[in-house]
Structure 1
Amino acid sequence: MASKNRLKYVVVAVMLILAGVAMADALGAFNPKPYTKVSKGSHAHYVPADRDPDVSITRFPKRPPGPGETITPQGQIVRKN
C-alpha cells in the first residue's frame, strides 16, 4: 500500500515539473534569440525582448535581423556596434 502512495506522489511531482518547464518555455526562458517572432495574421513581426511598450507591434520589422544587425526597442533594424 505504501508503494502505491509513493507512486502517486512521484507521478504528481513529475507532472508539476513538466508543467513548470512548459510554462517557462512559453514565457521564453529558453529562447536564445534577443527577439521574438510575433504572428499577426498572414505575416509576422520580429520584436526585441526590450521593446518599448508605447510602440505598436506593427512598427516592428517583418524580417529577422541579419548577421551583425539588431532590432532597437523602437523597431528599427540597425548594425550592431
Structure 2
Amino acid sequence: MRKPLRWALLAVVLAFFGLVLADSMGVFDDRPYFEVPHGNHTHYVPKDCDPPLSPGDAPTRPPGPGERINCQGQIVPE
C-alpha cells in the first residue's frame, strides 16, 4: 500500500515543479512584451520583432490599454 502512495506523491511533486518551471519560463504569459529588469528600472521589450529590439532601446514604462510597443521601441496606439 505504501509503494503506490509514494509514486502518487512523487507524481504530484513533479507536476508541481513542472508547472513552476513552465511559469518561470513565461509559457503562460500572454503579454506581447518581456519585462527586463535593469538596475533601478525595467525595460519593456516587444516579443515579435525581427531582428530583436535591444533592451536599452526599449521603453521604461509598460504600454497602457490600447497601446503597444513597436519594433523601434516606441509606444504607439494599437
Give the alignment's TM-score, normalised by structure 2.
Answer: 0.85
Q: Residue 27 of structure 1 is aligned with which of 25, 28, 43?
A: 25
In structure 2, do the counterparts of structure 1 residues 55 and 34 end up closer, same or farther at CA, with 3 Å as the change threshold? Answer: closer
Provide the rounded CA distance (Å) in 2 between the counterparts of 1:53 and 1:27: 21
Q: Distance in 2 between matches of 1:23 and 1:64?
A: 25
Which residue of the other structure, out of 37, 45, 48, is the alignment partner of 1:50? 48
Tell me the residue number matched to 1:16: 14
Aligned residue in 2 for 1:39: 37
Equivalent position SS for 1:62: coil
CA contact (8 A) 1:45 1:62 kept: yes
List structure 1 segments (4+ residues) > 4 angstroms apart after TM superposition.
none
Give the TM-score taking structure 1 as reference length: 0.82
CA RMSD across the alignment:
1.6
Q: What does 1:60-71 correspond to in 2, within 5 Å?
A: 60-71=58-69
Paired residue secondary structure (1:20): helix
Partner of 2:76: 78
Could you tell me which of 7, 22, 28 is aligned with 2:5?
7
Residue identity over aligned pairs, in percent, reads 46
